[in-house]
Structure formats: C-alpha cells, structure tokens
Amino acid sequence: MAASRKPRTAKNAETMAASQRAISISEFFTKNRHLLGFDSPAKALLTTIKEAVDNSLDACEEAGIPPELFIEIRPDNPVNLGIELSSQEIEPAKKKNGNGKTAASASTKEDRFKIIIEDNGPGIVKEQIPRIFGKLLYGSKFHSLKQSRGQQGIGISAAGMYGQLTTGQPVVVYSSIGAKAPAHRFEIQLDLKKNEPKILSGDETIWDKERGTRIEITLTGSYKRGQHSVDNYLEQTSIANPHVHLTYKNPKGETMVYANSTTELPPESVEIKPHPYGVELGILARMLQDTKSRNINAFLKDEFCKVGAKTAETILAGADIPPRKNPKRMVQDDVQRLLDSIAETKIANPPTDCLSPIGEDLVMAGLTSGMEAEFYTSVTRPAAVYRGNPFQIEVGLAYGGKLPGDELAKVMRFANRVPLLYQASACGVHKAVLSSNWKSYGLQQSKGALPTGPLVILIHMASVWVPFTSESKEAVAHYPEIIKEMRLALQEAGRQLGRHIKRRAREKDALMKQSYIQKYIPHIGEALQEILLISDEEKDEVIATLTDTLERSRKL
Amino acid sequence: MAASRKPRTAKNAETMAASQRAISISEFFTKNRHLLGFDSPAKALLTTIKEAVDNSLDACEEAGIPPELFIEIRPDNPVNLGIELSSQEIEPAKKKNGNGKTAASASTKEDRFKIIIEDNGPGIVKEQIPRIFGKLLYGSKFHSLKQSRGQQGIGISAAGMYGQLTTGQPVVVYSSIGAKAPAHRFEIQLDLKKNEPKILSGDETIWDKERGTRIEITLTGSYKRGQHSVDNYLEQTSIANPHVHLTYKNPKGETMVYANSTTELPPESVEIKPHPYGVELGILARMLQDTKSRNINAFLKDEFCKVGAKTAETILAGADIPPRKNPKRMVQDDVQRLLDSIAETKIANPPTDCLSPIGEDLVMAGLTSGMEAEFYTSVTRPAAVYRGNPFQIEVGLAYGGKLPGDELAKVMRFANRVPLLYQASACGVHKAVLSSNWKSYGLQQSKGALPTGPLVILIHMASVWVPFTSESKEAVAHYPEIIKEMRLALQEAGRQLGRHIKRRAREKDALMKQSYIQKYIPHIGEALQEILLISDEEKDEVIATLTDTLERSRKL
C-alpha cells in the first residue's frame, strides 16, 4: 500500500493559506450531525420529536395554556396518502416541484417517515416562522436565564435540516395565533451555505384550529421499541409532566393517549438576572459597555441579582471605584479590581423560586404509576448554584417488587422535565450514581459499575441553564457542584432505602427462625406427651401455648 | 416560596416574538464553553495546549518538517517578568492599554498563566493570522477529507477567546514564513458579538527564528499533575508521535525534554474524495449544483472516489439517467433515483492508504517504554468505513509486571495520534472495552464495568474524519461500525493475552506441583534407605535420579 502513495508534497505557508476559509455553522453541523443527535436513524426520529415537543411545551406554559399535543409518526408511503388520514390530518395543497410532479411521487423507502407534531399553544407570528424553523442559532431562550426545555435555538431547525438532507422535503408549518388573525402555512428549507431560511411558500390558509402550531418534517429514520424509543420518551415525558395531555399515533397506526392527571400548570418559571459570582472578566467588560445604567453603582444594582444598595457600596469600596463612575469609562484594570472585589464580598445566593422542580410527591406518584415495586422514596434538595446559575436536584428511588433483581439498576434521567435517553455514561448523573457507595445501603456494587438489584433511580435537574455535554442535550456536563448535589440527594434517598432493606432483611431473618421453630413445635408436643404421659388435649394446649408465645415474641 | 412568586404573566405569540433573535456562534460557545473543553480551570489549561500542539504538529507534517515544539506554562506574575525569561523568551514590547499602564500591571492571581507554544513549522501568512486566531469556525481542514489532528477550525480561537474572557488579554502571535519575508507579531482579540477578529496590533518584528509560529495566551487555569494533566498529555503525545521533539517547561520551572526517537515523518496523509455510499440526498443535491463537471457521468467520476467509467455507467443505467445529462438540471426525483441506484451498485471501498496508523511495532514500542509489564501485544486492523469515511483501529495491551493488579484496567485513548484524556465514559472506546468479554481471556470483569487486573489498554482510531461527541474532541461518537472494529481489535489482542494468561496459569500450576514433589523427594530417599538398607551414596543417587526425572517431565 505504501508503494501506491504519492510522494510527499511539502506545503508552505502560502499554499496552505489557499485552503484556509470560513465554515458556515450549518455546514459545520451537517458534517457533525451527531452533535445534534442525528447519528443514527432511530435517534434522528426521537430527536426530531423531542425538539418539537420541547418547543410546544415551553410555548404553552409560557402562554399559560395547559398543553394538549398530538404526535404522529407516519410511514411516508405515497400510496396511502389520502387514505389513512388521521382525524387531525390536513390535506396538503398539491405541491409543484421543479419537475411538475407532486412531492409524494418521489421514490420512497421503508424507513421514510413524516413526523407530525401539533399543539394548542400560542402560535408563532408569521414574520418569525421562517427563521425559527430555517435558521440554526435563532430563538428566544438563549439570552434569558430561565428554566425552559429549549435553550439554544438549534434543535427544531436542525431537525428540519436533517429532514431536508435525507429526503429533500421542506419543513411544513401551520400556525394560528388566535381567532382574529388568519392561519398561515409555510414550506421552509434551510440554505446550508448561508444558514438562512428559504421560503418555498408562505400563505394564509384555512385551519380549523383557533390557536396553535403544527409541524410536519419528512425524514429517513427507524422506528424501534425499547429503552431508546419514542414510546418510552413520551411515557417518561408524561411522568415528569402530569399537566400535559399527549395523543400519540405510532407508525403501526396504534394510538396511545397519555392523559393529563392535573389541569394545573407548574409554577411559572421566572427569568432572573445573572449572579455576580458567575461573571467573568470578559463578560463583565462587555456588560459594562452594553449597559444603559449611567453610573457603576446603578449598573451593579440593575444588571445583577442580589445586589442592593449596601452590597453595591461594599463592592465599589473594595474595588476603590467611585460609585458615580461611568460604566463605559471602566478600563481593564478597573474591571479586574471590580471582579476581585466581587469575589471578596459576601453576596446572597441567587433566588431559587425561579426554579420549578417536579416535587417529591409527583416524583413519587410518577414512580408508583410507572412500575410495581415494594418501596418508593423521593428527595427534593434545596436549590444550589454553579457558575452563578441556580439549580435543583431531585431523586426518586423504587425498589423490590416486580423489578428485576439480578440486573444493574435502571437510571432515569431528566433535565428541566425532559427525559434524557441517550449517552447515559457521558452524563453527570451516571458519575454521581457510580461514585455513590451503594453497598452501605445494602445493595451489591462492583468497582466502577452501577449497583445491582431491583432498583430504579430517577434523577431530575432543574436549572435556569442546564449545561449539556453536546448540542443534542442528552447528557449533563460534569460540573463538580452539580455532581455533588446529585450525590447528596442520592445519599439522602439511599439512606431511606438502606433502612428499608435492613428492616426487610431483619424481618426475613425473623420469619425464617419462626418457621423453623414452628416446624418443631408439634414434635415438641408429641415428645412431651410421651415423657409426661399427658392427654391429647393437654398436648394440643401445650402446642397452642408455645405457638402463641412465639407469635407474641415475634411481634415484640 | 410559592407565595413570593409573581402572578403568571401569560404571554402570547406577539410578546414572545419580541424576544426571538439570532445568536452569534461566539455567544453560543461563550455560554456553552464546556462544549469546547473549558468547563474547569485544569481542563482549560490542557485544552489550550492541546489545540495549539495539534495545530503545530499538523502544520509541520503538512510542510514536511520534523516537528520541534517548545511549550511553557508560566505563572503570570508580573513581578517575575524579565527575570525568569526562558532561553526562548522574547521580550514583549511594552503594551499601552487605554489607561496608559502596561499590561503587566493588572492585578494577578495565583491561577493566572501565560501559555506559550512555539514551533518550527511553516508559519502563517500574515493576512490569515487574525482570522485563524480571532474567528471561530475558520480553518483549512474542515472541507477536506484527510487524516489530521485539527478538523473544525474552532480550537485555537476558542482558547484565545477563553483567555480573553478570563483575563482580558489578547492572543499574541509571532510568525515567520521563511528567511526572505519579515516576521510578524500580532495582538488579536475576538469580537464576541460578530465572531470576527479585532487586531490590536500587527507589525513586522525581529525574530531570530527563520520559520515558525509562536503563540502566547494568558488565561486563568489550574495546573495539576496526574491522569488529566498537561504532563500526562505530553507524555502520551510523545508515545503516539515518536517523530516529535518536545521541550516542556512547567509552572514550577522544571524543564522536560521528550526527544524524538526517529527523524522520519509518518507517511503523508492524503486527501480523498467522498465515497458514494456516504452521501445523502441533500448533500448530493448540493454537489450537483456546485460541480464544474458538465455531464452527470463526468460528475460521478470527478467528485467521488472509486467511481470509474464502468461503475458510473452501472449507476446511471440503474437510475435511468442519460450519461450526458447536465448535473444542474437534475430535479429531486432524479437525485433520489441516483441515490437509490448508488445504494444498489457494488462499489469498491474507499482507498485506505490515505490513513496513517501508528503501526503495531510503534504501538508496542510506546507501551514498552511507558510501563513495566510482563506481556505486550498490539493489533492494527485493516481499514474499515463508516458513513463513507475510511478509518482504522489499533489496539495495544500491556499486562502484568509492575502494573497494579487489583484495580480496573487503565484505558489510553488516541484519535489521529492525539491523546484523549477527558470524558472517558462518553467515548466509543469505553463502550467497546466494556462490552468485550474479558472473562474469556482469563480476566475478572463485573457486569457493566471495565475488566479488573494489571492491564493497560491502548486504542487508536485513525480516520479522515473522527466523529467526536463534542467540539472539545474528547470522546469518539458511538457509530456502530466504529465500535464493531474496536471490539474486533480488542478480541484479537485479547485472545493473545488470554493465551499468555493461560500459559502463565499452567506454568504456575506445574511449578507448584513440582515444588510440592521436590519437597518430598529427600523424604522418599530416606524412606527407601530405611526399607532397602542402601548406602548414603545410593540414597543420593536415587534423589538425583528422581529430581532429574521430574525436571525432564516438566520440560515435556
């Protein structure tokens, strides 16, 4: 093979310069699509639905509407089109391609699906539709510190891009923002070189839905059951979101309904300002340039949380900066002193009522409804802070009963109420579970492995900013503060489990001794009868007395 | 706490639209810096050095220059400036800030470092310097299919951005492209909102180096020893790159030299064209629009590897497309048929001589020099293909000797000769090791855990495109084809290890039996003497004969 190699063609700085150029963000993610969760057909299907559901739930909750979602995975077989219309189906206007054929005439494969997600949310104003679905890095959640499912402005446009790459079909969006405005129907593609939307069509349309959004993405994927499936994801979503009503039609045409168990929305998540402890020199310098505050004292109070008059005064005194100084006049040296002084000033933790945990009762209810175990417990930790961001950890445990006893524990992970199904071993949750000492709670655990036993571990992280290990939001990054809180929650729940397991072991032990003695009581009776020559009645009395004594001793 | 919440402020589509906006790629990565490998101070230090070393080695090899690198981590204490100058130190010109003070006058902390990386590579033409160091997603390697360390055009500018965020200091770059052109010195910052370079200064300078690049990045970080350390990274780099000469000065002022063991560069990695099997509808459609080929037949032969006249003919016949058709006239239906026909046509695998594995001998040499074991083995698999990209897996094992026996096996991971130190459990390598059956090779292994024993496992993946799980390039994504090859390589090496372990066990067993018998031979002699009344000489002869027989039987 080496012989067939070309001779070394040494390059120099000039020849190298010729190939140095900019990479568009959409080109980048096309080549690195696994970063977005599109590395396998099965995962592509799940990721698409997950991103759309995330957006729908966020929008409904923000608008104060109890969410009702319809989700369908339809095999994209043109022969069936028009026959197997679901109740919520909308007949698409015949679409002209360049070749004058309808879109449906393109050749199909078994693994080609049309994904439909429809919600009763607030809808999207028509000017924003193309960019939300046809541009990566566009959204409303990135710039705010607020607990929400979506946060990066990538997900749904990436799903559309994947559909476009694999089937050439545009994203179809229906949206209606209320009875007074007309509904719209858009067909959108993403210009891969420019990362800008291409609008194929975008007209008013008639839609019987007064308010809501419907998305249709055609893609190649693979529908599977099991741990990583859409079915499992939707089931877990319903566990963590009891206020959501889901109707789901799978590719086999089976319809499942996950009804909401409450009509009450979770407490509204509140947007907070950044906390001074989480800010860095470069960010602080930029905030100083961008601020509308006219002096540095006002700047500190306006732009950060938990900085009142007294704290601002302490910080500025420590930094030796006059309170009336213009923020835009702060030079780097000032910024550094300001930062040093912040680090030395005692500032209260950020507010935590901006977080909306599931709550111990609902975690418990979710576990109880989801599996048959003999013991359940749940723990919601107080809120904590990493890099200035408040977050909160919840843990639920289910043990025994019908759970399989000789397998590794099953771990269910959630971030801001969204189930995380992939990349378990990359997740901070995994590290926290692995590094907890389960032996001390009466479970088996090998070095470097999950505990073994009939155990399900549920962990939920709620935060104004969940740090994921990749854009596909499948695993939580290993920030030490987060791992620590997870371990504390696991310990608290683990101790309760440990007490249960010990009590069960004691009971089992006592039961065994009892049954052992019980077995011999009749023999003792007979032996006594032989020795003392007592009557059968007397013998029966002795047996009854012994049995009774045993019963009473066990109860003590 | 619920009481203190504001009442729900239901939003609608219009109020939501007000907050929907574009996110710049640099803002995105500032907030998601853990994606780039900057989630902790220790990791930030390593990532910065790793990105700079990657670039230096790629550039040297591309230019055919045996790489000589100087790396320094200097505590950024202004008091010491000018005193502790290293031999390769350049006195920086006094830099004026807005406040007229020199940069060194800014307050410093213990965890502030200046990172210096200097190479003897081809240098960078001055027009390109600002964008390479001051713009994310800019580079030469993204658009080519070629084995290289860098590939995304993010790393080094991200390191500069991190330095700027944490210390406000610009990246300083010296570059010289040869004796005939002047050297240049640049100070560059990254405009976070625009993702464009800001040139603070960029002048000709005098540098005694005829050709090369020197980078200085000032950042807050944390210097640690151990598994995840810069020291360990450089040591592993030298194992996988025996042609590289490294001089490294750590923050304690200790200088280490990892000398090159060969002056021969690895075979040049060749750029290849994409393979038809790896292409998708959307990509194919774009290639058809962008091509310079005038007909579809020429397009197939020009733009893909392994497509000759005959293969092109078969593909086009299968797709029912005339060979002279203009590629720009292909409508979506044609593209789909072309793709279907490609899938059904037998096409040779992509060329594999574009890959440059380390090789079985050098893997073995690296392991032998790095640790004292009793058994070494290595396997280089034939090249394979995932999504049209050729790749090759190598495995090395070291066992026994002075390796610790009661711990989990140590796994060393490399991708295109770059050591991967973080996110082990997120890596495809981890999955491949975990899912291999080590018990069948005579090792202990608990369910869901790494094998236990005195074992070091080295895995190297060489590819024209390594799919990493995040931009920080710390773990290989779980593509089934890649995991499968890794498992095959581990099996092959594992069987050799298994034979060794079994032989050792047999030998140990035989030795034990022998020593057991040996112990009784003198007693047998004495017993015989007593029974047969033989002389002491005769007894000694009997003992010698028995011992000799035993020796010979063992050898058989």
pLDDT of the residue at B108: 35
pLDDT of the residue at A412: 95
pLDDT of the residue at B237: 93
| A255-275 tens-digit pLDDT | 999 999 888 898 888 889 999
Do A39 and B478 make contact, defined as CB atoms within 8 angstroms?
yes
Please, which pLDDT band fits residue A311 given cuts at 50, 70 and 90?
very high
pLDDT of the residue at A92: 39
Query: What CA–CA distance (Å, rounded) separates A441 from A108?
Result: 54
- Work out how many CB contacts closer than 8 A connect A with B: 305
* Tokens found for residue B115: 């990172």
Distances (CA, A) of A142 to A129, A154, A311, A390: 17, 10, 28, 16
B282 contacts in chain A (CB < 8 Å): 30, 164-166, 168, 192
Among residues of chain A, what percentage have pLDDT more than 70?
92
Res A556 pLDDT > 90: no
Is any Cβ of chain B less than 8 angstroms from the Cβ of A515? no
Do B470 and A152 make contact, defined as CB atoms within 8 angstroms?
no
For residue A82, count CB atoms less than 10 angstroms from its CB and return exposed for 0-12, middle for 13-18, buried for 19 or more: exposed
Complete DSSP assignment for B375-427: EEEEEEPPPEEETTEEEEEEEEEEESTTS-SSSBPEEEEEETTEEE-S-GGGS
> In this structure, what are the phi and psi dihedrals at residue B190, rounded to the nearest 5 degrees?
-110, 125
Preferred mutation among B469, B472, B479 to probe A, highest tally of A CBs within 10 A: B469
| A463-522 tens-digit pLDDT | 999 999 988 899 999 988 999 999 999 999 999 999 999 999 998 888 887 777 777 777
Do B192 and A282 make contact, defined as CB atoms within 8 angstroms?
yes
The label of the residue with tokens 């189930």 reads A419
Neighbours of A8 (CB within 10 A): 13
Do B469 and A164 make contact, defined as CB atoms within 8 angstroms?
no
Do B131 and A98 make contact, defined as CB atoms within 8 angstroms?
no
Task: Share the mean pLDDT of chain B.
Answer: 87
| B32-64 tens-digit pLDDT | 888 899 988 899 999 999 999 999 999 999 999
Query: What CA–CA distance (Å, rounded) separates A320 from A11?
Result: 54
| Cα-Cα-Cα-Cα dihedral sign, residues A514, A519, A525, A530 | negative
Measured between CA atoms, the residue of chain A closest to residue B152 is: A28
Do B122 and A13 make contact, defined as CB atoms within 8 angstroms?
yes
Domains and CATH numbers, chain A: 25-88+108-258 (3.30.565.10), 276-344 (1.10.8.50), 360-501 (3.30.230.10), 507-555 (no CATH)
Do B12 and A97 make contact, defined as CB atoms within 8 angstroms?
no
Do B340 and A470 make contact, defined as CB atoms within 8 angstroms?
no
The label of the residue with tokens 């695998």 reads B349
Measured between CA atoms, the residue of chain B closest to residue A386 is: B39
The label of the residue with tokens 């809501």 reads A212
> Using a CB cutoff of 8 Å and minimum separation of 24, what contacts does B344-348 make?
B344/B318, B345/B276, B345/B311, B345/B314, B345/B315, B345/B318, B347/B275, B347/B276, B347/B277, B347/B306, B347/B307, B347/B311, B348/B306
A123 contacts in chain B (CB < 8 Å): 13
Do B106 and A333 make contact, defined as CB atoms within 8 angstroms?
yes
pTM: 0.83
A265 contacts in chain B (CB < 8 Å): 8
B23 contacts in chain A (CB < 8 Å): 137-139, 142-143, 152-153
Res A248 pLDDT > 60: yes
Measured between CA atoms, the residue of chain B closest to residue A192 is: B286
Tell me the residues of chain B between 232 and 271 that have a Cβ less than 8 Å away from chain A.
265, 267-268, 270
Residue type, B252: K
> Using a CB cutoff of 8 Å and minimum separation of 24, what contacts does A99-105 make?
A99/B331, A99/B332, A99/B333, A101/B333, A103/A169, A104/A78, A105/A78, A105/B333
pLDDT of the residue at B514: 76
Tell me the residues of chain A between 146 and 175 that have a Cβ less than 8 Å away from chain B.
152-153, 164-168, 175
Query: What CA–CA distance (Å, rounded) separates A135 from A188?
Result: 10
The mean-pLDDT minimum among A32-36, A182-186, A215-219, A454-458 falls in: A32-36
The label of the residue with tokens 């055609």 reads A218
Instruction: Give the H or E element holding residue A385.
Output: strand A384-386
> In this structure, what are the phi and psi dihedrals at residue A534, rounded to the nearest 5 degrees?
-85, 165
Measured between CA atoms, the residue of chain B closest to residue A30 is: B283
Res B173 pLDDT > 90: yes
Residue type, A262: T
| B193-231 tens-digit pLDDT | 889 999 999 999 999 899 999 999 999 999 988 888 999
Residue type, A100: G
Is any Cβ of chain B less than 8 angstroms from the Cβ of A300? no
Q: Distance, in angstroms, between A488 CA and closest chain B CA?
A: 21
Among residues of chain B, what percentage have pLDDT more than 70?
92
CB contact set of B519 (below 8 Å; sequence gap of 6+): none
Do B5 and A353 make contact, defined as CB atoms within 8 angstroms?
yes
Please, which pLDDT band fits residue B91 given cuts at 50, 70 and 90?
very low
The mean-pLDDT minimum among A246-260, A378-392, B535-549 falls in: B535-549
The mean-pLDDT minimum among A262-266, B161-165, B296-300 falls in: A262-266
Complete DSSP assignment for A60-87: HHHTT---EEEEEEEE--GGGTTTS--T
Tell me the residues of chain B between 271 and 290 that have a Cβ less than 8 Å away from chain A.
280-283, 285-286
B176 contacts in chain A (CB < 8 Å): none
Res B517 pLDDT > 80: no
Most confident of A197-211, A352-366, B96-110: A197-211
Preferred mutation among B446, B463, B474 to probe A, highest tally of A CBs within 10 A: B446
Contact yes or no for A455/B406 (Cβ under 8 A): no
Instruction: Give the pLDDT mean for B180-189.
Output: 94
Radius of gyration of chain A (CA): 31
Task: Share the mean pLDDT of chain A.
Answer: 87
End-to-end Cα spacing for chain B: 82
Instruction: Give the pLDDT mean for A419-440.
Output: 94
Is any Cβ of chain A less than 8 angstroms from the Cβ of B62? yes
